[in-house]
Amino acid sequence: MDIDAWFKDQKILEKSKRRYVHFDLRTDLVKCRKYITNPKKIAQHGFYPFIKYDLEYHKYNRVEGKKIKKRTICYAAHIDSCIFQYYSFLVNIKYNSRLKQDNIHEVPIAYRTDLHTETISEFKKIYKFMIQHPSSYVMIGDFTSFFDKINHQYLKERLCDLLQVDRLSPDYYAIFKRITNYDYWDLKDLYKLNNLDSTNRKDKFELNSKLRILSPSDYKKYRSHIKCHKDNKGIPQGSAISACLANVYMLEIDKMINRFVVAHGGIYRRYSDDFIIILPTDTSLINDVEKIILKFEDFKNKDILELQPEKTQVYKLQNHSVVNIGHLFTPKLNEKYKTINFIGFTFDGSSITVRDKTTSKYYYRMHHKAKGIAHQYWRGKGYQGSDNLYRLYSPNGQYGRGNYFTYLSRVQNAFPKHAIMIPENRIMTKIRLTLKKNRWG
């Protein structure tokens, strides 16, 4: 896609129309095109601080139950976001070309602009490979605090290499400097300065209805509240260019791991900080898995990348069964998991299912929504919002805008021989029972 076509793409344009409030006035790619495509302007651009907050979400596990996890998100000012979005487009053109040149076009499957695929299709390819090689070693893992541990010097080297320059041009350096040595303002503090409560939905709406989160005079008055990230590691999650730069960071690592894996008849796929490696046993030995682990140890020693020990597992796939063989390695790997889990799917050697935590998350949200509606009934307001409940969480909703059952239907179509769908009667019964149980408080 050329630049003119990119600026005319309605999905891209709509994405640039940020609804949130920030330190500057709202804008979009069309309005600021002339400015953000001028390298001299970008080299001298004064970036606003990011606004930082902790996104809380629930992790689900049948054994451990519900856990609250936090992920720190930093979002950019409107003009800054448009700059990041545009430069991400430019970098991705180079990145996509390099992937083809290095024969790793199919390896990274997250944050891609040219792969035109999604997790269902990707897992189907992985499943087919396992079926074709029923005797294999399968390694699953992810990287510790991936975005937080990105080494700035190594990222700069990879970006220079991708752009084929000895040093970054002033505009690219301004982008790099902003992403690595960034400053930020805590969102809760901004709520307080506006005399609003960050936990109150009405106050959230009021804040985002403002033209600016602080007036220019208050921005200057409270500048001392700004904090700076001065570590030589880490880039903010949430900016329009962070995911792109994370992929650039992994270029040589992906190339190195893939070269080794393909030479032994296997495949390597990475989704952001999660990866899977499959090595057929007819072309590979268990020592080859050990060599891959040692390669990752080498990255750790160079302060580039670190495997998360508790999420690294190795399985032996044989005779339609999966056996965790983590005890065969030094140090011993995690043996808690007994099935292969990757990009939302579980494979036990014969059957594919959607991961339990995905379905558990659906049930939790459905119950939470139903309880809220039931409490409205208790207050004498009737079942307000019940239509929305059924649209979002019942099988009937999939025929409208789509919901979890729309996703399950697509998975079922991709894997017709596997039991994917949840019985509709069970779901409708659960919704009705939850409403009835909670309607009296």
What pLDDT score was predicted for residue 385?
A: 52
What pLDDT score was predicted for residue 382?
A: 47
> What number of helices (H) and strands (E) belong to the chain?
18, 12
pLDDT at residue 151 is higher than 50: yes
Q: H/E/C letters for each residue in 134-195?
A: CCEEEEEEEECCCHHHCEHHHHHHHHHHHHCCCCCCHHHHHHHHHHHCCEEEEHHHHHHHCC
What pLDDT score was predicted for residue 87?
A: 98
Instruction: pLDDT band for 310, please (50, 70, 90 cuts).
Output: confident
Query: By percentage, how much of the chain surpasses pLDDT 70?
Result: 92
What pLDDT score was predicted for residue 423?
A: 77
Q: What's the predicted TM-score (pTM) here?
A: 0.90
Angstrom distance (rounded) from CA 246 to CA 93: 15
Query: By percentage, how much of the chain surpasses pLDDT 90?
Result: 71
pLDDT at residue 68 is higher than 90: no
Angstrom distance (rounded) from CA 26 to CA 185: 18
Question: Could you report the per-residue pLDDT of 333-362, keeping only the tens digit for each?
Answer: 999 999 999 999 999 999 999 988 888 778
Say how many CA atoms lie within 13 Å of 103 toward its Cβ. 9
pLDDT at residue 371 is higher than 80: no
Q: What is the mean pLDDT of residues 312-323?
A: 95
Least confident window among 153-167, 311-325, 408-422, 423-437: 423-437
Least confident window among 74-88, 137-151, 393-407: 393-407
Number of Cβ within a 10 Å radius of residue 9: 14
Q: What is the mean pLDDT of residues 153-166?
A: 98
Q: What is the mean pLDDT of residues 420-437?
A: 77
Least confident window among 72-81, 255-264, 348-357: 348-357
Angstrom distance (rounded) from CA 244 to CA 113: 10
Instruction: pLDDT band for 383, please (50, 70, 90 cuts).
Output: very low
Report residue 233 as tokens: 């590691």
pLDDT at residue 110 is higher than 50: yes
How high is the mean pLDDT of the chain? Answer: 90
Q: Residue 331: is the preceding peptide bond cis (ω within 30°)?
A: yes
Which is more confident, 85 or 380? 85
What pLDDT score was predicted for residue 6?
A: 92
Phi, psi of 316 (to 5 degrees): -105, 115
Instruction: pLDDT band for 400, please (50, 70, 90 cuts).
Output: low
Least confident window among 60-64, 182-186, 248-252, 294-298: 60-64
